[in-house]
Amino acid sequence: MSDQEKLIEQLFDSEDDLTEKQKKIIIAAIESFAEKGYASTSTSEIAKKAGVAEGTIFRHYKTKKDLLLFIVAPMMAKLLAPFVIKDLNKVLNQKYDRFEDFLRAMIENRLKFLNNNMDLFKILIQEIPFQPELKEQFKEHIVLKVYDRFKQIVEHYQEKGQIIDLPPTRVIRMAASSIFGYLIARNLIFPEVDWDDETEIEETIRFIMHGLSPKR
């Protein structure tokens, strides 16, 4: 629980005024939503697990859906935050000469984040298809903001001749597929396997780099 709590604080730090009860509700909700799905989780169940009265939930979140959004929206924001910083290019130029290094840095950073917040990530991908608000947020964040950044990055390294000269969309998709493929295999499909993260990540980077190497 103390682990969970830290994560919660991290994720919801913007609104520092989270009551003890609010935290409990959120922790309980995340746990239940991840385990049984949003629609199959009853508010009474969350209340029981959180050790509060059912009414308390509705005092803080007008509806069950509000609770979901309150939980999931910051997750999306935090997840994508690093890609939305300004002057990303400058940072890149100075920091990562090679695409591979950029890739490694990003994977390590974001993968750690996701591994630590797997329940939230699970809720996110489960509910995006069914919650128009989330879908919209997702499109807006991903498509408009993050994609733009990635495109610049890809073009940057393409100009440097480090990666193959394909439409950035495609390049991004391929890299992203490989990364998320690992994330999902590791956490959702075979969580019981004893993964050697370091090796897997290195190999995934190698796979992507070879796959994207400029034509010989």
Choosing among its own copies, DNA, none, which partner's interface includes residue 89 (Cβ < 5 to 8 Å by kind)?
Answer: none
End-to-end CA distance of the chain: 53
Question: Minimum Å distance from CB 134 to DNA?
Answer: 16
Q: Which is nearer to its own copies, 112 or 170 (CB)?
A: 170
Residues in contact with DNA by the rule CB under 7 A = 19-22, 41-45, 52-60, 62-65
Distance CA 162, CA 99 (A): 7
**For 44-56, b where at least 16 C-beta lie within 10 A, e where not — what string?**
eebbebbebeeeb
Q: Which is nearer to its own copies, 84 or 143 (CB)?
A: 143
Name residues contacting its own copies, limited to 30-69 (CB under 8 A): 36-37, 39-40
Nearest Cα to Cα of residue 127 among 29, 55, 15: 29
Question: Minimum Å distance from CB 216 to its own copies?
Answer: 9
Choosing among its own copies, DNA, none, which partner's interface includes residue 43 (Cβ < 5 to 8 Å by kind)?
Answer: DNA
Encode 157-196 in three state secondary structure.
HHHCCCCCCCCHHHHHHHHHHHHHHHHHHHHHHCCCCCCC
User: Segment contacting its own copies (CB under 8 A): 15-23, 101-109, 122-130, 151-159?
Assistant: 122-130
Nearest Cα to Cα of residue 14 among 85, 75, 58: 75
Choosing among its own copies, DNA, none, which partner's interface includes residue 126 (Cβ < 5 to 8 Å by kind)?
Answer: its own copies
